[in-house]
Amino acid sequence: MPAGMNLGFVVLFGIGVVFTCLIALIVLIKVMGLVVNAFTKKPETAAAPAAPAAAPAAAPVNAAPAAVSSVDKQKIIAAIGAAIAEDMGTDVAHIKIHSIKKI
């Protein structure tokens, strides 16, 4: 090291440069975010409601499960079959699902 430069100065100068750059990056990202938001904002329609509608009441914990349509059941069975086939390393055509029980 050159005479007159001690280790403490080098460490403090390095830490100062790093944090100055980090603060500059934060400011730059915030400014860019404001610019992007200004250009991508959609105009609000005049027919927008003044106040948000009241949220529906939460369902009780012990309520009966909602009815699932047969199309939804088929999609669930297909997803379960695909997951099992992937785990077993085989094709879905080689898997036959006899029943599904909710745990």
pLDDT tens-digit series, residues 17-59: 999 999 999 999 999 999 999 888 766 665 555 555 555 556 5
Cβ within 8 Å of residue 76, ≥6 positions away: 68, 100
Q: Which backbone phi and psi does 70 adopt, to 5 degrees?
A: -65, -30
The whole-angstrom separation of Cα 77 and Cα 99 is 9
State pTM to two decimals: 0.36
The whole-angstrom separation of Cα 6 and Cα 16 is 16
For residue 20, the number of C-alpha atoms closer than 13 Å in the C-beta half-sphere is 6
pLDDT tens-digit series, residues 61-93: 555 556 767 788 888 888 988 999 889 988 888
